[in-house]
Structure 1
Amino acid sequence: MKTHVKALVVGGGAVGTSIAYHLAKAGWKDVMLLERDELTSGSTWHAAGLLPYFNMSFATTHIHDYSIKFYKTLEEETGLNPGFYVVGNLRMAQSAARMDEYMLYATTAETCGVPFQWLTPDQIRERWPLVRTDDLEGAIYHPTDGYINPADVTQAMAKGARMNGVEIERRWQVDGYTWTGDHWDVTCSKMVEKGGNLIASDEQVVIHAEHVVTATGNHAQRTARLLGLRIPAIPVEHQYIVTEPDPALVEWRKTNPQHPVLRDADAKWYVREERGGWILGPYERNAPARFEYGVPDSFRADLFPLDLERIEEEYMAMIHRIPSSEEVGLKDDFNGPICYTPDGNPLLGPAPGLRNMWLAEGFSFGITAAGGTGHYLAQLMVEGEAEIDMASLDPKRYGPWMTTEYAARKNEEAYEHVYILHHPDEERPACRPLRTAPAYDRQKALGAQFGHVNGWERPIYYGPKDAHETFDHDARSFRRGGWWHYAEAEAKAIREGAGLIDATAFAKHRISGPGATAFLDWFTTNRLPKVGRINLTYALTSAGTTRTEYTIVRQAEDDYYLVSAGAWAAYDQDFLYKAIMEKEKDFGRINKEDVTTQWGVLAIAGPKSRAILNGLIKDADASTVLSNKRFPWLSCREIELGMVPVRAIRVAYTGELGWELHHPIEMQNHLWDRLMEAGAEHGLTPVGARAQNWLRQEKSYRAFGTELGRDATPLEAGLDRFVDLTKKFYGKAEMQAKGLRSMCVTLLIDGPDDADPWGREALYDGERRIGRLTSGGYSVAFGKSIGMGYVPTELAAPGTQLKVRMFDRLWDAEVTVDSPYDPENRTIRVDG
């Protein structure tokens, strides 16, 4: 057994073996995999082996697509058949809303190159007459999909890993991790059987590993404790049953191929053939989380008792859809743990706060994701970045506020929502409200409908004051939901008068000390602002792509206030703080402080915003405090509004005259009340995030997580003005070497009367797919749909005519000038 390795992979399920395989294929020598029991003894052994393409995430769709293609190559390489049955995947719809969901999903599949077909109920009945279709609207069919034997594919990847030099050791458990400064010392115990349990023996070894990857599945909570982390990966019970042979199916198979994997999303189940019978896998309500605080030693390749009453509704729905199954008896049943996360996507990437520690946890669809996970994680580890933006799967999308109770309840909700309609404007209710700004109750009383960002409650629009408990559910849609007209009115209020937006969820950091200036100058792309001024700037990845966006306020010569996206707070902080720790020896002492929860933020914007603020300023010459001369655009001033000391920043994400009002968070209610009182005569309107999102697209303001990410450089995003090429900064050479592979553009779209793009739709030049939208919405300034996205450089010129896929057809779209609303920024700079 080796004791010095380049990379140690902990966990011998499908995910762990794939990671070990792909690290070795990527050229890393001395890769070792440890498994505490036997390969596949976790959730892998009892998985149904389905390979669902369906996913609204761009990154996850790429991962699933890679897996399905990769598994088809394993037998040729290893000589082991992974048991892949390419039977197709038929996802049926009982309603028009479900077909809308499939058409929205199809835009993601289309941009990733995933093949699919549309089938009518008649076509389904003609091809598979055992399936009842009289109550269906249609279906989406993936012909390259199917199912696979989980144990066989894992063993094939394990053999491939060994063929490429990976050492696989079974019956070794990790008991401790210690970072020495340049590698991990991993303490391991030999596992032995005693009374049917698997327990640690006295035999121990310490493995010195430059990198460690944890892929510990159901044991993620134990891993979290060993690393001193919070990892929201907790298993939920998943049941499936296997029937006796169905005579009708047996007869059908005498002259016909297998049925595709059948999914009736509205009935919350999947079904596939199994030895002449059927496997039914439901995603029912009230499936409990298990092992919140660790897996007991007595639980190995075990199962839970079946709870048939819990899945009775889904079982009856199978009989309805496949009538021949009604008289068939049950042959076998499974109820095992499947790990989940609060949003259903895995936790994949660098561990927060730790060097060379990588997490691959929380895989609810681990067989589908295993191959692609190994491929893209190996790219991250070996090359520094993957070819796709992996930020949406990063473990740091959940901050330190996340608890075990939160994870368990949200994971139960994620399980239940596998087949719930995935509206792009959905807001799931479990564990909410949790993090609330002081003005939450005031906003709720005004009809605020809340979304949540990094656990924070944030108004997304203001609906009827007397229906705030139920209105959002009724308002959801794949088209223009019931909330749409409220967002439209809020957007117009900012363009014509004034709006008040709660932006408290912004992440905020104070960076100071003798080394702060030199560090930030190296860390970010733009020149640093002068004292009292602000700059928008970017931090890059090692590949020269966009890692983080910051607004930097320079408060003193070596004292900076950094503001970044609230949804990415822990993600940004980890990158910033790790960079500080690494470079402090070069630049001098750097103080870092997370002040997010100390400062609330209310943003006021619109032509009347100055007049409203003037009504609250008590000054010898109050009317000039906010003038261009005393308070120019892109500057910061300390002012007083009522009894609240405010760090006012003259900037507005909406493209109108406006200020961000950063204030002591404990004074927020006083400030909210004074602003609403002063704004009453000016028609001040509380505004939510959806209207703000529309308005920022009219200004072509890029947003992190959509236009900005690790798959494009700031130059490709069209942000040249925020990149100072005369100075040295991290990632500069790599950014320049990439050139301009594509360009971010804004498009005005003549779309359907009842819908706007959501920001994942495919773009076409004639019949040729050439790019995708990254954002979408409605423009009150132009009276039509608007979107932003990436296209080849030769198609980025204003006036270029393109097409955008929305639902089942292509719609006209025109590339417009950057910042189509007020391109000269006159409204932002207006004096008064």
Structure 2
Amino acid sequence: MKSHVKVLVVGGGAVGCGIALHLARAGWETMLVERDELTAGSTWHAAGLLPLFNMGYATSHIHDYSVKLYAELEAQTGLNAGFTRCGNLRMAQTQDRMDEYQLYSAIAETVNVEHEFLTPKEIKDRWPLVNIDGLKGALFHPTDGYINPADVTQAMAKGARMAGATIERKIQVNGYQWTGSEWIVTCEKMVDKGGNLVPSGEIFEIRAEHVVTATGNHAQRTARLLGIKIPAIPVEHQFIVTEPDPALLKWRAEGNPEHPVLRDADAKWYVREERGGWILGPYERNAPARFLYDVPETFRADLFPLDLERIEEEYMSMIHRLPSSETVGLKDDFNGPICYTPDGNPLVGPAPGLRNMWLAEGFSFGITAAGGVGHYLAQMMTQGEAEIDMASLDPRRYGRWMTTEYAARKNEECYEHVFILHHPDEEREACRPLRTSPAYDRQKARGAQFGSVNGWDRPNYYGPLDAPADFDHNARSFRRGGWWQYAKAEAEAIRNTAGLIDATAFAKHMVKGPGATAFLDWLTTNKLPKVGRINLTYALTNAGTTHTEYTIVRLAENDYYLVSAGAWQDYDGDNLVKSAEDFMANGGDFVSVQDVTTQWGVFAIAGPKSRDILKKLIGDADPATALSNKRFPWLSAKKIELGMVPVNAIRVAYTGELGWELHHPIEMQNHLFDRLMEAGEPEGMKLVGGRAQNWLRQEKSYRAFGTELGRDATPLEAALDRFVDLDKDFKGKQAMLDKGVRFKCVTVLIDGPEDADPWGREGLFADGERVGRLTSGGYSVGFGKQIGMGYVRPDLAEPGTKLKVRMFRELWDAEVTEDSPFDPTNAKIRVDG
């Protein structure tokens, strides 16, 4: 057995074997170790479905790659992976569900996933055994299907061996130690004794430059060994297999094709053929999380007892949809652990706080994802970044505040929501509120309706206090929801008078020390601001794409305050710390990085009246001029006093109006909130939530990380040349230049449907050809129509270019506008007073 390798993959399920296959094919010396047999975890009892349907851009690419790979594995390896391409039929009982499918269709189109819509009659004509009562229609994937999980895993394992990888079974990892240049992985040989897998006492070490963990149900043990948190915890998933159905046997005996995988999403189940009978897989309520802290040593390829009462509703629904199944008995049942994460996306990428440690954990659709994850993770590891933006799957999207209890409860909720409508404006309720700013209760009392970002509850919008009893703040829609009118009023308030936004969830880091200036100059693309000034800048990946956006406030010569997106606190912090370590290791002076997110609250006040409101509160010898352009210019920062609160004020506004961010000691927030409300309400100031802010920032073409800004595009492609100083050297500069400009970020104004706005997932078209996609969307109060931002071919990025946007399967007129179509000269931001 090898004792030194380039990369060690821990875990021999489908995901681990998919990773080993692609790393070996990329030319890295690869070893995979599995504590039991290949496929012994969740892989062995998985139903093997290959659903292409996914609302996430990155995950859609991953699933699409997997399905295409699996169709080629036999030719590549000589092993039949057991792929049955029978298609996938997603039925809809409501118009809302059809709207979901139409939004998905727009996403699928950007990934080139083949699909079609069917009427109830077309369903019945193709598959007469299906009862179409109550159906509105269906979405059909002809290239979808299912696969034998064990066979596809073995095929990928053979492919990995053919590419030079080594696979060793019955080896358990008991420890990890980083030496500064490689990992020492302590292993122990496992042996079978009486059906149990037990340690042999034979201990040895494997040294590896990189380690990838793909440990499935054992993720909590992995987390404990690494000293980190991994919110991957299994939830029970049941499926049952029926005896042969005479009607189905007759249908097939007559030469008819296999039924597609049937999904009645509104009934929360999937069904597929299995040896003349049916497999029913429900996603019911109250499925419990298991193995919160560890998997028992005695649990191998084992199952839990079936709980038929829990799935009775779904079982009866299957009989309704497939009447011939009513008299068919049950032949087999499975109830096994399937890993989930709080948002349903797997954890793929660098482990927080660790070097050359990569996670591939938390796969609820592991068979579908295995091939694609292997492909894109191998790109990240060997090329510096994947060709698609993988930030939505990054393990560091979950912060250190997260506990096991939180992960377990959210994972149970996620399981339950597999077939619940995936509204773009949905806000799931489990484990909330958890992280709240001090003003939470005051905001709630004024009608705040909260959304959750990185565990923080922050206002999405403010609803009416006098709403009728039947008004449902939780009503979601794929069109304009009940909240839309209130967000519109809030956006109009910022444009006409003033608005106050709670931005406490912003990520905030202090960077200081004798090396701080040289470090940030190397890490970021823009010139550093002078003392007392701010700038917007970007940190790049090794591949030259955008890793993070920062607002940098220079407090002193070597003292900086960095503000970034609230959803990415630990992601940004991890990059800052590791980059500072790299800088110092290469001879740079000492740099200190401190996360101060929870020390500072933030209120953003913006609008034409914002200066007048702050004048009432500011402690200054000359309040009338304290906030003037001369004393407090745009893009500067000053320490001021508002009542009894010392405030670090930054003259900037994400909404494109005159405004300030008021960074204050978080323990003084309620006092500041009360004083701002007292001063602002007579001036017409409204409390404003995140949805209105999102619309307004698009009117200014302000890019956002996670939408326009991501690890698949450079700042030059994002049309942010003015924030890139090519006269200096910075991390990722040459890689950025080598990429050139493959596409360009644009803002478009859209003449769309009267009752809907784009969500930022839709395709862009020119002359019938798809030429790009939206990354953000919403409504513009400034122009009275829909607005969006996205990427197109560079030749189509000129203002005035006519495009089309796909919404609800129709193409709507759109026009590329100049950057910052609202107030392009920034006159409103710079106004004096």
Q: Same fold (TM over 0.5)?
A: yes
| Residue number in structure 1 paired with 2:527 | 527
Shift of 1:195: 3.7
| Residue number in structure 2 paired with 1:429 | 429
| Residue number in structure 1 paired with 2:419 | 419
Shift of 1:468: 11
Partner secondary structure for residue 49 of structure 2: coil
1:237-286 deviation line (CA, Å, top 9, x unaligned)? 00000000000000000120100000000000000000000000000000
Partner secondary structure for residue 239 of structure 1: strand
Q: Measure, in 2, the Cα distance between the counterparts of 1:303 and 1:790.
A: 47
Q: Is structure 2 residue 223 aligned with structure 1 residue 216?
A: no
| Residue number in structure 1 paired with 2:726 | 725
| Residue number in structure 2 paired with 1:762 | 763
Q: Measure, in 1, the Cα distance between the counterparts of 2:506 and 2:750.
A: 31
Taking structure 1 as reference, are residues 143 and 408 closer, same or farther at Cα in structure 2, changes over 3 Å only?
Answer: same
Q: Measure, in 2, the Cα distance between the counterparts of 1:470 and 1:760.
A: 32
- Alignment check: 8 A CA contact 1:598 1:665 kept: yes
Shift of 1:473: 5.0
| Residue number in structure 2 paired with 1:602 | 603
Partner secondary structure for residue 318 of structure 2: helix
1:582-593 aligned at under 5 Å gives the runs 582-585=582-585, 586-593=587-594
| Residue number in structure 1 paired with 2:137 | 138
Shift of 1:471: 5.5
Q: Is structure 2 residue 624 aligned with structure 1 residue 613?
A: no
Letter in 1 for 2:410: K
| Residue number in structure 2 paired with 1:232 | 231
Q: Measure, in 1, the Cα distance between the counterparts of 2:278 and 2:79.
A: 26
Shift of 1:591: 1.2
Shift of 1:465: 2.3
Shift of 1:164: 1.1
Q: Measure, in 2, the Cα distance between the counterparts of 1:741 and 1:418.
A: 36
| Residue number in structure 2 paired with 1:151 | 150
* 37-46 or 470-479: bigger deviation: 470-479
1:111-139 deviation line (CA, Å, top 9, x unaligned)? 00100011000000000000011210001
Taking structure 1 as reference, are residues 544 and 634 closer, same or farther at Cα in structure 2, changes over 3 Å only?
Answer: same
- Alignment check: 8 A CA contact 1:447 1:468 kept: no
| Residue number in structure 1 paired with 2:246 | 247
Letter in 1 for 2:335: N
Letter in 1 for 2:710: G
Q: Is structure 2 residue 574 aligned with structure 1 residue 574?
A: yes
Q: Which runs of 5+ in 2 are unaligned?
A: none
Shift of 1:470: 8.8
Letter in 1 for 2:32: L
1:402-413 aligned at under 5 Å gives the runs 402-413=402-413
Q: Measure, in 1, the Cα distance between the counterparts of 2:201 and 2:91.
A: 55
Q: Measure, in 1, the Cα distance between the counterparts of 2:537 and 2:309.
A: 56
Q: Measure, in 1, the Cα distance between the counterparts of 2:292 and 2:824.
A: 53
Q: Measure, in 2, the Cα distance between the counterparts of 1:732 and 1:341.
A: 35
1:672-730 deviation line (CA, Å, top 9, x unaligned)? 00000011210110000000000000000000000001111101111111111111111
1:501-540 aligned at under 5 Å gives the runs 501-540=501-540
- Alignment check: 8 A CA contact 1:549 1:704 kept: yes
1:678-697 aligned at under 5 Å gives the runs 678-697=679-698
| Residue number in structure 2 paired with 1:561 | 561
Q: Measure, in 2, the Cα distance between the counterparts of 1:787 and 1:304.
A: 48
Q: Measure, in 1, the Cα distance between the counterparts of 2:209 and 2:473.
A: 49
- Alignment check: 8 A CA contact 1:59 1:389 kept: yes
| Residue number in structure 2 paired with 1:163 | 162
| Residue number in structure 1 paired with 2:442 | 442
Q: Measure, in 1, the Cα distance between the counterparts of 2:515 and 2:678.
A: 44
- Alignment check: 8 A CA contact 2:473 2:483 kept: no
| Residue number in structure 1 paired with 2:824 | 823
- Alignment check: 8 A CA contact 1:532 1:555 kept: yes
Q: Measure, in 2, the Cα distance between the counterparts of 1:618 and 1:636.
A: 16
Letter in 2 for 1:261: V
- Alignment check: 8 A CA contact 1:472 1:483 kept: no
Q: Is structure 2 residue 37 aligned with structure 1 residue 6?
A: no
| Residue number in structure 2 paired with 1:329 | 329
| Residue number in structure 1 paired with 2:112 | 113
Q: Measure, in 2, the Cα distance between the counterparts of 1:18 and 1:175.
A: 23
Taking structure 1 as reference, are residues 467 and 180 closer, same or farther at Cα in structure 2, changes over 3 Å only?
Answer: farther
Letter in 2 for 1:820: P
Partner secondary structure for residue 435 of structure 2: coil
1:776-787 aligned at under 5 Å gives the runs 776-787=777-788
1:2-401 aligned at under 5 Å gives the runs 2-29=2-29, 31-254=30-253, 255-401=255-401
- Alignment check: 8 A CA contact 1:449 1:468 kept: no
Q: CA RMSD in A?
A: 1.0
Q: Measure, in 1, the Cα distance between the counterparts of 2:580 and 2:609.
A: 42
1:89-126 deviation line (CA, Å, top 9, x unaligned)? 00000000000000011111110010001100000000
Q: Measure, in 2, the Cα distance between the counterparts of 1:345 and 1:264.
A: 22
Letter in 2 for 1:709: G
Letter in 2 for 1:811: W
Letter in 1 for 2:543: A
Q: Measure, in 2, the Cα distance between the counterparts of 1:23 and 1:472.
A: 50
- Alignment check: 8 A CA contact 1:185 1:208 kept: yes
1:657-672 aligned at under 5 Å gives the runs 657-672=658-673
Taking structure 1 as reference, are residues 375 and 469 closer, same or farther at Cα in structure 2, changes over 3 Å only?
Answer: farther
Taking structure 1 as reference, are residues 470 and 113 closer, same or farther at Cα in structure 2, changes over 3 Å only?
Answer: farther
Letter in 2 for 1:822: D
- Alignment check: 8 A CA contact 2:233 2:290 kept: yes
Partner secondary structure for residue 327 of structure 1: coil
Q: Measure, in 1, the Cα distance between the counterparts of 2:733 and 2:184.
A: 34
Q: Measure, in 1, the Cα distance between the counterparts of 2:237 and 2:467.
A: 36
Letter in 1 for 2:98: M
1:727-806 aligned at under 5 Å gives the runs 727-806=728-807
Shift of 1:737: 1.3
Partner secondary structure for residue 612 of structure 1: helix
1:696-707 aligned at under 5 Å gives the runs 696-707=697-708
Taking structure 1 as reference, are residues 43 and 493 closer, same or farther at Cα in structure 2, changes over 3 Å only?
Answer: same
Shift of 1:450: 0.3
Letter in 2 for 1:777: G
Q: Measure, in 2, the Cα distance between the counterparts of 1:93 and 1:422.
A: 13
Shift of 1:297: 0.7
Q: Measure, in 1, the Cα distance between the counterparts of 2:20 and 2:713.
A: 28
Letter in 1 for 2:209: E
Partner secondary structure for residue 475 of structure 1: coil
Letter in 1 for 2:610: S
| Residue number in structure 1 paired with 2:464 | 464
Q: Measure, in 1, the Cα distance between the counterparts of 2:686 and 2:542.
A: 43
- Alignment check: 8 A CA contact 1:447 1:466 kept: no
Shift of 1:10: 0.3
Q: Measure, in 1, the Cα distance between the counterparts of 2:797 and 2:182.
A: 46
TM-score (norm 2): 0.99
Q: Measure, in 2, the Cα distance between the counterparts of 1:619 and 1:342.
A: 48
Shift of 1:582: 1.1
- Alignment check: 8 A CA contact 1:551 1:564 kept: yes
- Alignment check: 8 A CA contact 1:423 1:477 kept: yes
Q: Measure, in 1, the Cα distance between the counterparts of 2:727 and 2:335.
A: 62
- Alignment check: 8 A CA contact 2:347 2:395 kept: yes
Q: Measure, in 1, the Cα distance between the counterparts of 2:538 and 2:818.
A: 23
Letter in 1 for 2:227: G
- Alignment check: 8 A CA contact 1:449 1:472 kept: no
Q: Measure, in 2, the Cα distance between the counterparts of 1:485 and 1:19.
A: 48
Q: How many residues align?
A: 831
Q: Measure, in 1, the Cα distance between the counterparts of 2:809 and 2:207.
A: 55
1:188-244 deviation line (CA, Å, top 9, x unaligned)? 011112343212121011000110000000000000000001100000000000000
